[in-house]
Amino acid sequence: MEPTTEKPQRATGLAAPRGWFTTSDGVRLGYRTGGNPDGPPMLFCYGLMCSSFHFTYQWEHFASRYRLLMLDYRGHHESEFPVAITTLSFPRLADDLGEFLEHLGERRPVHLVGHSMGVNVALELYERDARRVRSLTLMAGGATFPVRGRVGRQRVAFLNAMMKVIDGMFPRLADAIWRIQARAPGAEHFAGLVGFNTKLSKPDDIRRVVELMSGFSPRVFAQLLGEYIRHDRTDTLPRIAAPTLILSGEKDVAVPPFFQEQLYFKIPGSELVSIDGGSHCPQFDRPGEVNAAMESFLETHGAELRVF
């Protein structure tokens, strides 16, 4: 199907989507396509409160050889907010990706790239329809929520529940607080400490990420955080037959290397590359090293493409 030419529903400061389509449950989603239309398809899945901007350097690097695809999740950027927020779940996000590929008429399995929470979405898509996946690149993520121990999970779950209660009782106040704290002095510094190596990433990139985060709805964050806490695809890992590259930031404090090591030990034949000095966003810290690792991996495993 040809992409539509309607105007986007909201302005986000991102490059305009190439098109929109409506899911089987009636939610209108925006998407981006680019690169070589005849090349092997590469599908990107970004993380919690993230955007297409997180793959800027990969999008540029692989454009000459690959057909590049990216979907805005429901409730994100150019995509509609679902009537039932409970549909903002990892299984539904994976179904949306499948319907996106169907909309494009893409019958070849994709090289699936996930970052952070996007790793969980990618694993969910593989679990639901492995035939769609030619290879997996799993960056700075894990199969479970990145807090070790039951007590730690319970604390995060309690804070998340309180966030939902406050938002339910005082939605306008919650929206205002969200916007203020995201744009407050020090927000970029905090984001840099948690998500970037500030000695390596460009200040403009960090600033842009924080700016885009401030445009999110707090209820999208709360809903997905709740899903994230409960999500566990550890049982999928030993059954993954697709070639898998795991990229780990050496200094990642958001999703520490332990979680990438877990992927490596459980996914048969997987490859693990640690990015020296890399943070939770190694693709911003050292884009050249990340791209080189991906390129080497794809050259080894990307030649054989079948149609299903």
User: Which position has the higher pLDDT, 303 or 134?
Assistant: 134
pLDDT digits (tens, 9 = 90+) for 140-196: 999 998 865 554 555 544 454 545 444 454 455 555 555 555 555 555 555 565 689
Total domain count, the chain: 1
Task: Classify residue 297: in a domain, yes or no.
Answer: yes
Q: What pLDDT was estimated at residue 2?
A: 37
Q: Are strands 67-71 and 28-35 parallel, antiparallel or unpaired?
A: antiparallel
Q: What pLDDT was estimated at residue 216?
A: 78
Confidence band, pLDDT 50/70/90 cuts, at residue 13 = very low
Q: What is the pTM of this model?
A: 0.85
Q: What pLDDT was estimated at residue 1?
A: 38
What's the chain's average pLDDT? 84
293, 273 in Cβ contact below 8 A?
yes
Q: What pLDDT was estimated at residue 181?
A: 58
- Domain residues for the domain of 29 are 19-301
Task: Classify residue 201: in a domain, yes or no.
Answer: yes
Q: What pLDDT was estimated at residue 302?
A: 66
Q: What pLDDT was estimated at residue 184?
A: 57
Q: Give the closest residue to 224 by CA, choosing from 116, 129, 114, 78.
A: 116
User: Which position has the higher pLDDT, 213 or 160?
Assistant: 213
- The structure tokens listed for 154 are 């319970």
pLDDT, mean of residues 189-212: 81
Q: What pLDDT was estimated at residue 4?
A: 39
pLDDT digits (tens, 9 = 90+) for 251-270: 999 999 999 999 999 999 99
Quick one: angle between helices 203-213 and 171-183, nearest 10? 170
pLDDT digits (tens, 9 = 90+) for 28-56: 999 999 999 999 999 999 998 899 999 99
Task: Classify residue 126: in a domain, yes or no.
Answer: yes
Task: Classify residue 65: in a domain, yes or no.
Answer: yes
Write the CATH number for 138: 3.40.50.1820
Task: Classify residue 148: in a domain, yes or no.
Answer: yes
Q: What pLDDT was estimated at residue 217?
A: 77
The Cα–Cα gap between 250 and 191 comes to 17
Using alpha carbons, list the distances in angstroms from residue 96 to 123, 143, 184, 300: 14, 20, 34, 29
Task: Classify residue 8: in a domain, yes or no.
Answer: no
DSSP 255: S
Q: Which residues contact 109 (CB under 8 A, 6 or more apart)?
A: 41, 131, 132, 133, 134, 305, 306, 308
User: Which position has the higher pLDDT, 95 or 175?
Assistant: 95
Task: Classify residue 307: in a domain, yes or no.
Answer: no
CB neighbours (10 Å) of residue 152? 12
Q: What pLDDT was estimated at residue 7?
A: 34
| Range list of H helices, the chain | 56-61, 90-104, 117-128, 150-169, 171-183, 187-195, 203-213, 218-230, 257-266, 282-285, 287-301
Task: Classify residue 54: in a domain, yes or no.
Answer: yes
Q: What pLDDT was estimated at residue 113?
A: 98
Q: For the ranges 95-109, 118-132, 203-217, 241-255, which has the lowest average pLDDT?
A: 203-217
